[in-house]
Amino acid sequence: MTSRTPLLAGAALLAIAALAQRAQAAEDAQRPGQGAADQPAAATGGARNGDAIVVTARRRTETAQDIPLAISVVGGDQLDSTGSFNVGRLQQLTPALQFYSSNPRNTAVNIRGIGVPFGLTSDGFEQGVGIYIDDVYYSRVASATFDFLDVAQIEVLRGPQGTLYGKNTSAGAINITTNQPTFAFEGKAEVSIGNYNFKQAKAVVSGPLSDRLAARLALSSTSRRGTIYNVTTDQWLQSQDNIGLRGQLLWEPASDLSVTLVGDYNEQNALCCGSVFVRAGATQRPLNRQYAALAAAQNYAPPSTDPFDRLSDLDARLNAGNVIGGVALKVKWDLGHSNLTSITAWRTWDWKPENDRDFTGLPIVTLSQNPSQQNQYTQELRYTYSGRAVDFVIGAFAFDQRIDTQGLEAHGSASSQWSITPSNPLANDPTVLDGLTARNTQYLKSTSLALFGQASWKVSDAFTIQPGVRLNYDRKEGFYERRVFTGEGTELLGSETDARSVAQLGIFRPQLSAPRASNWNFSYDLTLSYALAPDVLTYATYARSFKTVGINQNGLPTDAAGVPIQAAGQIAPEKVNHFELGIKTQFWDRRATFNLAAFRTEIKDYQATVTNGQFGVLRGYLANAGKVRTQGFEADFSIRPSERFNAYVSGAYTDATYRKFVDAPCPPELSGGSALAAGQTPGAPGTPGGPSAPNCDISGQRLPGVSKWSVSFGAEGNAPARLLGEDGEVYFGYDGSYRSNFSSLASPSAYTWIDGYSLSNFRLGFRTDNGLDVFGWVRNAFDENYFEQLFVGPGNTGLIAGLPGDPRTWGGTIQMSF
DSSP helix/strand/coil, 410: strand
Query: Does residue 25 fall inside a structural domain?
Result: no
Query: Does residue 458 fall inside a structural domain?
Result: yes
**CATH number, residue 483:** 2.40.170.20
Query: Does residue 640 fall inside a structural domain?
Result: no
Query: Does residue 638 fall inside a structural domain?
Result: no
Query: Does residue 20 fall inside a structural domain?
Result: no
Is residue 282 within 8 Å of residue 291, measured between CB atoms?
A: no
Instruction: Determine the Cα–Cα distance for residues 477 and 400; give it in Å rounded to an integer.
Output: 12
Q: How many domains does the chain have?
A: 1
Whole-model pTM?
Answer: 0.91
DSSP helix/strand/coil, 24: helix
Task: Annotate 503-535 with b (16+ C-beta within 10 A) or e (fewer).
Answer: bbbbbbbbbebebebebebebbbebbbebeeee
Domain range holding 485?
A: 35-512+526-633+648-692+708-713+723-817
Task: Annotate 2-21 with b (16+ C-beta within 10 A) or e (fewer).
Answer: eeebeebbeebbeebbebbb
pLDDT at 144: 60
pLDDT at 560: 67
Residue 724, number of CB atoms within 10 A of its CB = 9
Per-10-residue mean pLDDT of the chain, 818 residues long, equals 44 44 44 37 41 78 90 86 74 86 80 81 83 91 75 93 90 93 97 97 97 97 96 96 96 97 94 94 94 96 98 94 95 95 96 93 94 95 95 97 95 96 93 97 96 97 97 96 96 96 94 93 97 97 95 78 78 95 96 97 89 46 88 97 96 97 90 87 91 91 95 97 92 97 93 97 96 96 96 92 97 96
Q: What contacts 742, CB < 8 A, 6 or more positions away? A: 702, 704, 705, 706, 707, 753, 754
Query: Does residue 519 fall inside a structural domain?
Result: no
Contacts of 96-99 with CB under 8 Å at 24 or more apart are 96/70, 96/72, 96/156, 96/158, 96/634, 96/652, 96/654, 96/710, 97/72, 97/156, 97/174, 98/705, 98/706, 98/707, 99/144
pLDDT at 120: 60
Query: Does residue 15 fall inside a structural domain?
Result: no
Query: Does residue 372 fall inside a structural domain?
Result: yes
pLDDT at 101: 77
